[in-house]
Structure formats: C-alpha cells, structure tokens
Structure 1
Amino acid sequence: MIEVDHLTKRYGPHPAVEDVSFRCEPGTVTGFLGPNGAGKSTTMRMICGLTPPTAGSATVGGRPYRRLPNPGREVGVLLDASAQHAGRTGREVLAVAARTMGVDTRRVAATLDLVGLNPAAARRRVRAYSLGMRQRLGLAHALLGDPRVLILDEPANGLDPEGIFWMRGLLRDFADRGGTVLLSSHLLREVEAVADRLVVIGGGRVVAQGGRDELLAGAGTLVRARDPQALRLTLDRAGLDATAGTDGGFVVRAEAGAVGQAAADAGLVLTELRSADTGGLEQLFLTLTAGSSTKESVK
C-alpha cells in the first residue's frame, strides 16, 4: 500500500505540489494523471525519498521509503529509464542490482526474459539500447527484487504498440496477484484500459480521484461562470456535488438542467454548460486540468 498524506513541496515561493493526499491499495493499478508541470514527478520522487517534502508525508507499506531495510525487495521503482550505467550490459546492470539487494542472481535471466530482452540484447551495452529497450531494462530492475509495490513514471515512453499492450498485461497481472501499482502516463487510453483508480493532479493539487468507472460514469455536467466563486457557493447551497477544475470551471455530478436552474435562481451568468462525459478519460482529463501550468521545469 502507498499512502500520501498532505504532501507539499515548495521551491522558494513556488508551490510545485500542494496538499496532495491519496492511497493506492493492494490489488489495484492507480493511474496518476496530469499535464506537464502538474507535480506528478515531484510527488513520485517524494514518495521514493529522492525529494524531501516541505510538509506532509508518504509511506509504502506503512513506512517511509528511506526507512525500508531493503527497498528494492519491497518497492520496484522506475522514474527515469535513462538513469542506467551506459557502459554496462543489460545483464550486468541487473547482476549488480541483484547482489546489492541480496537476490539470487539466477533471477537475472528470468527477469530479462519476462520483460522481453533476449540473450543477445542482454549482452549489449546499455548505450546501444533504444529508449524502448531501456524502458524494458528499467522495468526488469524494478521487478528483480519481487516487490509488492511498483512506482512507475511514464514507463511506456519509447515502446511500440505491441510493447504498450505487453506492459498493460504485465501490470494488470501484477495487480491481480495482489500487488500495488502507481502508474504515471500521458497515454490516457492505456491508463483507462488498465487502471482501477485514478488520481488527477493539476497545478500541484489533486483535482479529482476515485474509481475509474465511478469518475467516468459520473463525469456529469461541465459548468463555467463569469464569477467562479459565486458559482461554487451556488452549487454548494443547491447540494450539488462539484469538483473544481483549475480554470474556474466545475464538473458537477448532476444533470445539466439541475445545474442551469440553480445558476438561474442565483442570477449567475454562465459561460459554459454541457455534458462532461462524452470523451471518456481524455475528456475528463482535459476538463479537470484545463488551465494548468505547462512548465517543464517542475513535474
């Protein structure tokens, strides 16, 4: 299990991540979504003990990552497929990791085979690997210690369609056997196909989270007004469950007629009122994260 509790990270006056909380349960794949600069990578680095939080906490299996006695045996991490020793062969990379973790080196060949790196590829230097091969090697490294948890940041980058389909099956099987997966990806259709739960982040804050089917089925009505604060108060007073986007809009779990009537009764001028459930996860993502920062410097 992964538990993130009010995580906040500031760089000077700039909040990269602000009060982020969510849980990833055993037996599930959690899709962690957001535009570039939303705070996804920063959050994952804080979970893995690579970036110290300004406030809040994150635990894996009930303990902070840095306090795990042998992290690789409990948590498989892939945050950057390029962060591998370019002069070693794929087999050597895993052999060193196996010795570090105290894993039987006989697992190296089996894990390479699991991720689709054949003996010829295993003998090649990592500098000669394509991005897709590096992703496979990084995933092999994450799986080598037979962990209970996987934390993966954009693991499908560089994979061809067949590779993406293969990865989807691998992660689904891992979760179905009781594992916990936190998966960040821009490939929304693939996330929609494999994830049980979704956490959507925009501007450093969680803008929506819940079961995939619940969020998609309950996308409801998108509404925007000239006065977003007055709209928020109106929706609250009408008892309408609404999730704020990052551009002053709201996704309301109610019919458009009920939302429009509440706004009319309050004398509000609406600038948009329409169904929010016509485009699946892609439409939900765009609705919830509209207006988010797109800066590459903080992810």
Structure 2
Amino acid sequence: MITAQHLTKRYGDHAAVDDVSFTARPGRVTGFLGPNGAGKSTTMRMLCGLTAPTTGQATVVDRPLRSMANPGRTVGVLLDASAQHAGRTGREVLSLSAQLMGLPSSRVGAVLETVGLTDAESRKRTRSYSLGMRQRLGLAHALLGDPTVLVLDEPANGLDPAGIRWMRELLRGFAADGGTVLLSSHLLREMEAVCDDLVIIGGGRILAQGSASELLSGPSTRVRSVDDRALTAALTAAGHTVERTDEGTLATAASPEEVGRVALAAQVVLTELRAATSTGLEQLFFDTTAQHGREGIAA
C-alpha cells in the first residue's frame, strides 16, 4: 500500500505540490493523472524518497521508503526509462542491481524473460536501445527485487500497440496477485482500461479521486442542435465545459434539464438530447483539469 498524507513541496514561494493526500491499495491499479506541471512527478519523487517533502509524509507498506535498508525488495520504481548507463549492457545493468539487493543471478534472466527482452538484446549496450526496449529494461529493473509495490511513470511510452497490451496484462496480473500499482500516464484510453482507482491532480492539488467506476459514472449529457457553435457558447457562458465527441455530438457534464434550459434561453433548437451512461476518462480528465492545463493558463 502507498499512502500520501498532506504532502507539500515548496520551492521558495511556489508550491509545486500542495497538501496532497491519497492511498493506493493492494490488489488494485491506481492511476495518477494530471496535465504537465500539475505536480505528478514531484509527488512520485516524494513517494519514492528522492525528494524530501516540505511538510507531510509518504509511506510505502506503512514505512517511509528512506527507512528501508533494501527498498528494491519492497518497491519497484520506474520514473525515467532513459536513466541507464549508456555504456553498459542491459544484462549488466540488472546484474549490478541484483548484487546490490542480494539477489541470485538467476533473477536477472527471469525478469528479462518477463519483459520480453531476448538474450541477444540484453547483451547490447543500452545506448543502442530503442525507447521501447529501454521501457522494458526499466520495468525489468522495477520487477527485479520481486516487490509488492510498483511506482511507474509513463511505462508504456515508446511501446507499440502489442507492447501496450502486454504492459496492461502484466500490471493487471501484478495487481491480481495482491500487488499495489501506482501508474502515471497521458495515455487516457489505456488508463481507463487498466485502472481500478483514479487520482487526478492539477495545480499541485488533488482535484478528484475515487474508484474508476464511481468517477466515470457521473452525470454527462450528449446533445446535437441546429447551431452547435451558438449552443457551445451558451453552455460555456453558463459555466459548463463542452467537448465534441467522436460521434459528432456535444458532450457536457451539465444535466439534460440544464442543457435544455440553456438552449431555450439562447433560442437554439435541439435535435438530440440524452443522458450518457458513462463519462469516459478523457471527458472526466478535461472537465476536471480545464483550469490547470495550458489552455486554462492561456485563457
């Protein structure tokens, strides 16, 4: 289990992370989402003991990571797949870490097989690795100590569709065996497919958190009209976020009744109005973080 309790990190007058609290539970994959600059990386670094919080506490399996004599045996971390010694082979990278953690050399071969790196690939220097191969090596490193907790930042970056599907199945299997996974990624459709719980951060603060099923079942409306531009402007003026869906309708978190009232006041004729059965992670993300992304900053 991972627990963040009132984590705050200040750099001078700037609060990169401001009073962040959440829990990632065993047997579940917890998605940690937010726009660039939201405080995700700083929070994950505090969880992993790489950055000291200004206030608050982060624990993994009820202990601060810095207090563990051999943390790699409890927590597997992948924050930057490119952070590998370019002159060493993939097998050498893993072998050195195995020695530091007191692991048998057989563990290196086991994790290489798990992540799908061949013997020939493992004997190449990491400078020649593609981004996808670096991700697989980074995940092998995270799994090396047979941990019960994984903290992963963009682990699917650079993987092809088959690799992304493989990653999803691996993480779901890890959680099904009782492991805890904290996963950060901008691949929203993939996060929707793999995550049991969601934590959304923006401007250094938690904006929403809970089970994926609860957050994604919130009210949402799909609407068409004879003048979608005018309807969008009217809904936006009323304080509602509006996005166009792949099917060509407008999507908003406003209730159907509220959409009808706004359309009537704006004298816009509606041709379709219905409640959606699911919000969808992409819509939830943009609705929740609208004021914290680059578009919100520019506005």
Q: CA deviation at 1:12?
A: 1.0
Amino acid at match of 2:34: G
Hey, what's the Cα distance between the residues in 2 that align with 1:190 and 1:23? 21
Hey, what's the Cα distance between the residues in 1 that align with 2:219 and 2:285? 10
Q: CA deviation at 1:256?
A: 4.8
**Map of 2:120 onto structure 1:** 120
Note the 1:143-292 alignment, pairs <5 A.
143-220=143-220, 255-257=255-257, 280-292=280-292
SS of the residue corresponding to residue 217 of structure 1 reads coil
Hey, what's the Cα distance between the residues in 2 that align with 1:153 and 1:18? 20
Q: CA deviation at 1:15?
A: 1.2
Amino acid at match of 2:257: G
The answer to whether the 8 Å contact 1:115/1:136 transfers is yes
The structure-2 alpha-carbon separation of the partners of 1:294 and 1:44, relative to structure 1 and needing over 3 Å to count, comes to farther
Amino acid at match of 1:182: L
Note the 1:75-90 alignment, pairs <5 A.
75-90=75-90
Hey, what's the Cα distance between the residues in 2 that align with 1:109 and 1:185? 28
Q: Which structure 2 residue ranges, 5 or more long, are not aligned?
A: 223-233, 241-251, 263-273
- RMSD over aligned Cα atoms: 2.6
Hey, what's the Cα distance between the residues in 2 that align with 1:25 and 1:133? 29
> What is the TM-score when the length of structure 2 is the normalising length?
0.81
* Residue 74, structure 1, aligned to residue 74, structure 2: yes
**Mean alpha-carbon deviation: is it higher for 154-163 or for 175-184?**
154-163
Amino acid at match of 1:6: H
Amino acid at match of 2:159: L
Moved over 4 A (4+): 219-228, 258-261, 274-279
The structure-2 alpha-carbon separation of the partners of 1:276 and 1:44, relative to structure 1 and needing over 3 Å to count, comes to farther
The structure-2 alpha-carbon separation of the partners of 1:103 and 1:217, relative to structure 1 and needing over 3 Å to count, comes to same
Q: CA deviation at 1:257?
A: 3.5
Q: How many residues align structurally?
A: 262
The structure-2 alpha-carbon separation of the partners of 1:104 and 1:211, relative to structure 1 and needing over 3 Å to count, comes to same
Q: CA deviation at 1:291?
A: 2.0
Q: CA deviation at 1:251?
A: 6.1
Hey, what's the Cα distance between the residues in 2 that align with 1:151 and 1:106? 24
The answer to whether the 8 Å contact 2:235/2:259 transfers is no
**Map of 1:2 onto structure 2:** 2
Hey, what's the Cα distance between the residues in 1 that align with 2:113 and 2:14? 44
SS of the residue corresponding to residue 200 of structure 1 reads strand
The structure-2 alpha-carbon separation of the partners of 1:123 and 1:105, relative to structure 1 and needing over 3 Å to count, comes to same
**Map of 1:97 onto structure 2:** 97
Q: CA deviation at 1:115?
A: 0.2
**Map of 1:138 onto structure 2:** 138
The structure-2 alpha-carbon separation of the partners of 1:188 and 1:68, relative to structure 1 and needing over 3 Å to count, comes to same
Q: CA deviation at 1:11?
A: 1.1
> What is the TM-score when the length of structure 1 is the normalising length?
0.81
Amino acid at match of 1:147: P
The answer to whether the 8 Å contact 1:251/1:276 transfers is no
Amino acid at match of 1:195: C
SS of the residue corresponding to residue 69 of structure 2 reads coil
SS of the residue corresponding to residue 36 of structure 1 reads coil
Could you report, residue by residue, the CA deviation over 1:184-234 in whole angstroms, capped at 9, with x for unpaired residues? 000011111110000011111111000101100124579988798xx9xxx
Hey, what's the Cα distance between the residues in 1 that align with 2:96 and 2:152? 21
The answer to whether the 8 Å contact 2:216/2:278 transfers is no
Note the 1:18-29 alignment, pairs <5 A.
18-29=18-29
The structure-2 alpha-carbon separation of the partners of 1:68 and 1:260, relative to structure 1 and needing over 3 Å to count, comes to farther
SS of the residue corresponding to residue 21 of structure 2 reads strand
The answer to whether the 8 Å contact 1:65/1:71 transfers is yes
The answer to whether the 8 Å contact 1:276/1:284 transfers is no
Amino acid at match of 1:192: E
The answer to whether the 8 Å contact 1:38/1:294 transfers is no
Q: CA deviation at 1:260?
A: 9.3
